[in-house]
Structure 1
Amino acid sequence: MSKRRMQSMASLLVGVLTAWLGVAQAQVPDYIIQLNAAPLKAQAGAKEPAQPAAPAAKPAVAPAARGKPRIAVLLPLGSPRLGEAAEVVRQGVEAAAAVDGKAEVLVVAADETNVGARYQAALADGANVVIGPLTRQGIAAVAPLVKVPTLALNALEPGLPANPKLYSLALAVEGEAQQIAGVMYEDGRRAPLVVASPDVLSARLRKAFVEQWQAVGGKNARVVEPGAGLAAAAAQADAVFLAVDDQEAGAIRQALPPELPVYATSQLNSRHPPAALDNVRLIDMPWFLMPQHEAVKRYPRPDSALTMQTERLYALGIDAYRLAVLLANPKTPVASLRLDGVTGDLQLGRDRQFTRQLPLAVLGAGGLQ
């Protein structure tokens, strides 16, 4: 979707670069996976989906006509920790492939112990482009072997060998916190208060926001934890960023002055948000905020009712396939590559990682406005 179209439909878009994660954070799962102990667990009242089975040796999607590119999808489908998350990504890739029909998709089960060998086997089998790996450890194993366009589904770490054919599309939480900092600055806020918990995820949100706030020209943002001192700190602020999860956010919002503008990431977007979060401004992917947009509604929703966190992985699979098709075309101007994605307005940065611009929405009356 174009930036002009998203501005007209969602009020505001602010472009930011997705942060690279440092070595100290390398073993911390991205929040989309971290918040789902069982990613395929259905919503209350919905039928539980079947557990993922090991992929067959043949492509999971029927072969396309001759001359179409072959996309290998390397995912840890057999992993006890990430197998279910990988299954949701696979479903998204195959859903997009079924709609577009522009490529043959070959699904390959690959974990950290064999991903390098599986990658090389996929190339020998004629893969023109590769989607995956899903983990940073897997990306590190594959990086020296990359010979065709390869779209990793996690952040690229600074220490990876330079390779112009290795790209990244990730749902890292840092990118959303950075975008919120830009949104608040564009809204004229100059004295933000960041409410963050001691946990690792909240710390990542806090750090990314504070660094981006300073980068856009803001003065030092004040940071407090929930509890004592919150009211006094809020009295000195002109806006609040909630760097917490949805379980903490409601109580924190009730402790803040009702007229104080509050901002948040997609963590607070749920199908049934509590009334306490009315008027909170948040960003999320078009898959949820703009379901009737042409770039979104052409793709089917998951067959099983998933949590919203997990459904973001399904949307990630859709955009990964669409980008892979573009990367497989030698005529694609990769340096200026953009995509009106279901996970955001995607643009390739100089660091070979795709940034995501997300639309803005306001919570109200138990839903989005």
Structure 2
Amino acid sequence: MFTSWKKMTAQAALLAGMLAPWMMPADAAAADSVPLLAQAATPGTAAPAPLALPPGTSPEMESAAVGAPAAPPPPATPAPVRIALLLPSRSGAFGAAADAVRTGFLTAYSRQKENIQLAIVETGDSAPDMQRAYDEASAKFDILVGPLSRTAVTAVAQSGRVSKPTVALAQPDMNGETELQLPPQMLAVGLSIDEEARQVANWVEKEKAPGKIFAISTGTAWQKRAARSFQLRARQLGLQVETLELSTPSNALSAPGLAQLAKRVEQEKPALIFVALDAAQTVQLRSAVGNDLPLYGTSQINPYTLKRDNPNDKLPELDGVRLIDIPWQLQPDNVAVARYPRPAVNDNERPNPDLARLYALGIDAYRVAYGIAQKQSGFDIDGVTGRLNVNMVSGGTTFFQRQETQAVYQDGWPVPMADQY
């Protein structure tokens, strides 16, 4: 028994030496442990057997006991990025639009929320109310998404108080014939009829159709902007464009105006017509000028969503008419489109295409904000509103571009074209 007790005492002393770095000052631990850890078998002798450590010994202690380095501590989790979505949800004018954007935004957030803290900030719909809410949010959040209206975006852009990355949900008002220069930290990702018109001008130029082009609108503000934007871009590309405005005495195009247009088409034989009109007005115009003259338009001549429950709800009168629209309205098989659910619609309610586009805008606005949160200065997104190119370098160049999908009416429906410019 005495011999066994001596062996136990020796083993305890040896174990105490192995655990010394965690039980005494550093200098003493180093001095006592180095000879033991440096011990090696001499030639002709067996290596010492590994020590049997007591149950519950930590991995770090086990590693130190055999001379291996301790495992590094796990990396610290970065602080979450705080994103604020600023919307005039209680506004009579913008309430439905704000609700559609918010629903799309939250849909995208639910699928990609790693290390993001999201807050919905209710704002007024006037420019001063929006500016006040924006200034308060700037002090609390890292990235701001909004405003939603053109006037509010213009006010914030001109305020001189954009100090955080800001993803505006509308385009600013044009300053004369040029768009407002945005602050370096601001992107305008809103859907834009003006930009659609410019993309149609690029498309037309590549078709190389010779001759004059008519750009037709009514006195409605968005239509006049679209016709003007098409004309300016087309002229930059060397095309000859004349804008014509038709009257609408009863929400329909004037019959005398259409008769006069048909006469000019017959006499001057334009290469094509750009229609800054809605679908019903385009049907009227085409009945006046015939089916042989090529017509090009914006998303506003597509009154449909991809939820097409009524097979009789078609516009065969527009077959052959070309347009551009977002993938969300045209491409159910697009990978990005198929990833997200459609907003719920009552059975007896026809889906609103403009609200559907705003829902899609909410999805892509979140994806842009998320990319900025990941500290990506430049990135591309295959989005539900088009192919997006984003560049936001802090203190440097800010750039955003959306390329929408080209389509043509076939059998009464707008169908994506196989060849996209």
Query: How big is the shift at 1:364?
Result: 1.9
User: Cα gap change, 1:353/1:152 in structure 2, threshold over 3 Å: closer, same or farther?
Assistant: farther
Q: Deviations over 1:79-121 (max 9, x none)?
A: 1211221111100100110122232321010123433343344
Query: TM-score scaled by structure 1?
Result: 0.75
**2:405 matched residue in structure 1:** 359
Distance 1:110-1:243 versus aligned 2 partners, 3 A rule? same
Between the aligned partners of 1:343 and 1:245, the Cα distance in structure 2 is 20
Larger Rg: 2
The CA distance in 2 between the partners of 1:118 and 1:198, in whole Å, is: 34
Letter in 2 for 1:129: I
Partners of 2:245 and 2:122 in 1: how far apart?
44
Q: Name the counterpart of 1:323.
A: 368
Shift of 1:297: 1.2
Q: Is the 8 A contact 1:224 1:230 kept in 2?
A: no
Higher-RCO chain (CA-CA 8 Å, sequence separation at least 6): 1
Point out the more displaced range, 231-240 or 155-164: 155-164
How big is each residue's C-alpha offset from its partner over 1:339-363, in whole Å with a ceiling of 9 and x where there is no partner?
2211111224898463321111111
Q: How far off is 1:367 after superposition? A: 1.3
Structure 1 pair 221–326 and aligned structure 2 pair: CA distance change class (3 A): same
Deviation at 1:230, TM superposition (A): 1.7
- Is residue 190 of structure 2 the alignment partner of residue 145 of structure 1? no
Q: CA deviation at 1:296?
A: 1.7
Does the CA contact (< 8 Å) of 2:151 and 2:173 recur in 1?
no
Q: Does 1:200 align with 2:216?
A: no
* Counterparts of residues 176-191 of structure 1 (less than 5 Å): 176-191=196-211
Distance 1:78 1:279, change over 3 A: same
The aligned residue for residue 25 of structure 1 is none
Aligned to 1:285: 326
For the structure 1 residues 163 and 196, does the alpha-carbon distance in structure 2 shift closer, same or farther, using more than 3 Å as the test?
Answer: closer
Contact 1:149 1:328 in 2 (8 A): no
How large is the Cα RMSD of the aligned pairs? Answer: 2.4
Q: Pick from 88, 94, 118: which aligns with 1:105? A: 118
- Does the 8 A contact of 1:74 with 1:130 survive in 2? yes
Structure 2-normalised TM-score? 0.66
Q: Distance in 2 between matches of 1:158 and 1:367?
A: 33
Stretch moving more, 254-263 or 159-168:
159-168
Count the aligned residue pairs.
Answer: 301
Q: 1:67 to 1:291 in 2, by over 3 A?
A: farther
How much does 1:316 deviate?
A: 0.6
Secondary structure at 2:402's aligned position in 1? strand
Counterpart of 1:267 in structure 2 is 300
**8 A contact 1:291–1:297 mirrored in 2:** yes
Change (3 A) 1:244 1:353: farther
| Shift in CA distance, 178/161, structure 1 to aligned 2, threshold 3 Å | closer
What is the CA–CA distance in structure 2 between the aligned matches of 1:368 and 1:316, rounded to whole Å? 20
* Equivalent pair of 1:193/1:224 in contact (CA under 8 Å): no
- TM-superposed deviation, 1:222: 5.7
**Corresponding residue of 2:283:** 250
Aligned mates of 1:84, 1:205 — CA distance in 2: 24
Counterparts of 2:196 and 2:265 in 1: how far apart (Å)?
22
The unaligned stretches of length 5 or more in structure 1 are 1-64
How far does the alpha carbon of each residue in 1:188-246 deviate from its partner, in whole angstroms, 9 at most, with x for none?
A: 22332222223322211211111111011112346363413222332311212111122
